[in-house]
Copies of this chain bind each other. A is one copy, B any other.
Amino acid sequence: MKTTTQKLQDSWVHVPENSDFPIQNLPYGIFQTEKRGASVGVAIGEQILVLEEVARLGFFDDLNIDTSVFSSSSLNNFISLGKKNWTAVRQKLTELLDSENDALQSFKTDVLVEMADAEMLLPVEIGDYTDFYSSIEHATNVGTMFRGADNALMPNWKHLPVGYHGRASSIVVSGTDIHRPKGQTLAAEADTPEFGPSKRMDFELEMAFIIGKNTELGETVSTENAEDHIFGMVVFNDWSARDIQKWEYVPLGPFLGKNFASSISPWIVTMDALEPFRVESPTQDPKPLPYLQYEGNKSYDINLSVAIAPENSEETVVCNSNFKYMYWTMAQQLTHHTVNGCNIRVGDMMASGTLSGSTPDSFASMLELSWAGQKEVPLSNGETRKFLRDGDTVVMSAHCQKGDLRVGFGEVRSKLLPSR
């Protein structure tokens, strides 16, 4: 790892100051342009490196990989090449993009596309999506609102990473507008439910990791091996209709209050790129059962923020949080998920749960920021919010910073449209 006093490696591709996408990042995505159908790209500065063109020019020939994976409309085939090849391709790209290497540079008009000219698509085909509930601050906040401070956490919460299955079909990429969902809700003091647009539309700031290696049914992944099964991460907005959720969720969990849409950032930042930002996780007390124990630093210092931009108005940041607050690590989540033999597949997505911190300005949903609608959240245009209004754009972003080194995720930006 480079120390902060060393000069960082530069690329011949221009990377603006504070860009999320320096040569140290190299996240993968699927893009298309007017001229090119869906294809694999790597973000660098404000450009996209077109991997099928890099392959066509022969720059991957010595890697002995099937380069047709780069002409695919999802990353699943590339991811399926396995961790050894992810690292080999990353190493090759790091060489090719180095400011002192002009081999690829002479073909730059062939291999680079302006981000401004490209549309980003969903980066993976998602077989299954699981949502965890792994922030102790979020679980405590929500539990306090619903059951009082003394019973905030359920008895199981500190013994296992609580999670549930979500809907894969409705995961969409940043930029996709979301319609306010309709559904059944029970008004306060009503006996019978009513039907109509949700009145308590909310976001949840989460991150998700993408599975990089299949397991067989019956197989278990240990905490020690879990990271071999994780390809990378994205920012995840788990849209929530609180009033629908509240009425429907007993006894089998959230369903229509969640499955109308979840939005993700388009670039998958690899675990290799996140390596410099490893940190300790919160101490776990009580100590979990042996199968959930692990050694080493298995969390990451990732700064997170949420902003709301009302229609025709500027953004207001309403939450600043960090991924490192999460109580259960990704390795523990994955081990728990497979301890019963449940099989996982390349492209599966596993979200963290709402990543609230301990201070009110780090609460990561409107439910918590407005304390179930009891407080107004001020915006810079003079308006306030308890929940989201039609026309609001929600912007979530994430980046790691260590000295001069910044590795970012870009953003997931989605507008809430009126109910159809």
Chain B residues with CB under 8 A of A247: 156
Stretch binding the partner chain, chosen from A36-44, A336-344, A362-370, A400-408:
A336-344
Q: Mark A167-203, 1 if CB is under 8 A from B, else 0.
A: 1111010001001011110100000111100000000
Chain B residues with CB under 8 A of A179: 218, 341
Number of interface residues of A (CB under 8 A): 62
Q: Would B128 and A340 count as touching, CB distance under 8 A?
A: no
Stretch binding the partner chain, chosen from A226-234, A256-264, A305-313:
A256-264
In this assembly, does A166 line the interface, its C-beta being within 8 Å of a C-beta of chain B? yes
Q: Would B169 and A127 count as touching, CB distance under 8 A?
A: yes
In this assembly, does A116 line the interface, its C-beta being within 8 Å of a C-beta of chain B? no
Chain B residues with CB under 8 A of A220: 182
Give the contacts of A373-416 with B (CB-CB under 8 A): none
Chain B residues with CB under 8 A of A194: 289
In this assembly, does A15 line the interface, its C-beta being within 8 Å of a C-beta of chain B? no
Q: Mark A255-299, 1 if CB is under 8 A from B, else 0.
A: 110011100000000000000000000000010011100000000
Q: Would B217 and A261 count as touching, CB distance under 8 A?
A: yes
In this assembly, does A107 line the interface, its C-beta being within 8 Å of a C-beta of chain B? no
Cα–Cα, bound, A260→B250 (Å):
23
- Contact partner of A183 among B184, B251, B339, CB < 8 A? B339
Ordered nearest first, which 5 A-B pairs have the shortest CB separation? A253-B253, A181-B340, A165-B165, A164-B252, A260-B340
- Contact partner of A340 among B182, B193, B250, B342, CB < 8 A? B182
In this assembly, does A83 line the interface, its C-beta being within 8 Å of a C-beta of chain B? no
Most buried by B among A155, A166, A167, A337: A167
Most buried by B among A183, A256, A341, A343: A341
Given that A170-B343, A342-B167 are contacting pairs, would A252 and B253 also be in contact in the complex, using a CB cutoff of 8 Å? Answer: yes
Chain B residues with CB under 8 A of A167: 128, 165, 342
Determine how close the nearest CB of chain B comes to the CB of A244; give it in whole angstroms.
7
Cα–Cα, bound, A121→B253 (Å):
31
Q: Would A159 and B193 count as touching, CB distance under 8 A?
A: yes
Chain B residues with CB under 8 A of A244: 340
Determine how close the nearest CB of chain B comes to the CB of A213; give it in whole angstroms.
13
Q: Would B344 and A163 count as touching, CB distance under 8 A?
A: no
Chain B residues with CB under 8 A of A128: 167-169
Q: Mark A340-366, 1 if CB is under 8 A from B, else 0.
A: 111111001000000000000000000
Given that A160-B184, A253-B164, A253-B252 are contacting pairs, would A169 and B345 also be in contact in the complex, using a CB cutoff of 8 Å? Answer: yes
Q: Would A341 and B420 count as touching, CB distance under 8 A?
A: yes
Q: Would A133 and B252 count as touching, CB distance under 8 A?
A: yes
In this assembly, does A48 line the interface, its C-beta being within 8 Å of a C-beta of chain B? no
